[in-house]
Amino acid sequence: MHDTPHVIGISGSLRDDSGTRIAVQRALDAGADAGATTEHIDLRAWDLPLFDPDAIDAGDGPELAARVREADAIVLGTPMYHGTIASPLKTALDYCSIDDVEGTTVGVLAVAGGGFPTPALEHLRASVLELKGWPLPREVAIPDSWAAFEDGSIADEDIAERVEKLGVDVVAYAGVAARPNDTEQSELMTGD
Ligand SMILES: Cc1cc2nc3c(=O)[nH]c(=O)nc-3n(C[C@H](O)[C@H](O)[C@H](O)COP(=O)(O)O)c2cc1C
């Protein structure tokens, strides 16, 4: 854990006008306001071939895994594609291992053209758990993406607030996995 929490955001859409990227950036901006250093990993700029277990060092995969490993908290955003996680984000996660994600606080958000992207959130949360990350229980679902974003910003104030809260929460809970080692926390848990 860095003295100043370091939060990275990864957005699963490669689309130029991606709402997911706008939302992830908004969460990171809120995290920065809450005192974190932040980095938005824009997958358009990363060379990540379809993941091949026989070529785990392909392209920028090792560098991406290193950035994930360095992060104290992560914001993951995905568009819902065919009821699940979009492939660019899934590919990025496939380059990461438990060693990179274990113990890291993760906030998740998903964006859909239709109704609530609940399946995509469930699947993303399941991946985070398999990687032994700590997904925050308060996730952000953004439905009706055609109306949710306007001029590079989040149009709906309620959604914007929820996204900002996600950014603040990942900072507040960064390092949560280490907390049982804190004396104060141990006392709370044991009642001493
Ligand atoms: C291949 C593909 C599959 C999609 N599948 C769904 C879907 O299952 N449900 C849905 O509500 N929207 C679906 N959409 C719409 C996207 O979720 C929506 O356009 C979203 O805003 C894309 O995110 P972005 O703005 O970050 O690119 C799909 C879009 C694409 C391109």
Residue nearest to atom 19 of ligand 1 (CA): 113
CB atoms within 10 A of CB 17: 9
Residue 84, CB-side half-sphere exposure with 13 Å CA sphere = 6
**Residue 40 lies inside a defined structural domain of this protein:** yes
**Residue 1 lies inside a defined structural domain of this protein:** no
Going from the Cα of 37 to the center of ligand 1, the distance in angstroms, rounded, reads 30
**Residue 59 lies inside a defined structural domain of this protein:** yes
Going from the Cα of 91 to the center of ligand 1, the distance in angstroms, rounded, reads 17
Please give the pLDDT value at position 182. Answer: 62
- List beta partners, residue 108: 76
- Is pTM beyond 0.85? Reply is yes
Domain that holds residue 105: 6-190
**Residue 182 lies inside a defined structural domain of this protein:** yes
CB atoms within 10 A of CB 94: 17
The pick from 145, 150, 154 for probing ligand 1's pocket by mutation, whose C-beta has the most ligand atoms within 8 angstroms, reads 145
Q: How many domains does the chain have?
A: 1
The secondary structure element, H or E, covering residue 149 is strand 149-150
Going from the Cα of 86 to the center of ligand 1, the distance in angstroms, rounded, reads 8
**Residue 172 lies inside a defined structural domain of this protein:** yes
Distance CA 49, CA 170 (A): 29
Dihedral angle, C-alpha 146, 14, 125, 55, nearest 10 °:
160
Under 8 Å between Cβ of 117 and 73: no
Please give the pLDDT value at position 177. Answer: 86
CATH number for the domain harbouring residue 89? 3.40.50.360
Q: Please name the residue that has the structure tokens 């071939």.
A: 49
Query: Token digits for 189?
Result: 């848990």
Residue nearest to atom 7 of ligand 1 (CA): 82
Residue nearest to atom 11 of ligand 1 (CA): 114
Mean pLDDT by runs of 10 across the 192 residues of the chain is 95 98 98 98 98 98 98 98 98 98 98 98 98 98 97 97 98 88 59 55
Dihedral angle, C-alpha 188, 174, 75, 87, nearest 10 °:
-80
- List beta partners, residue 109: 77, 140
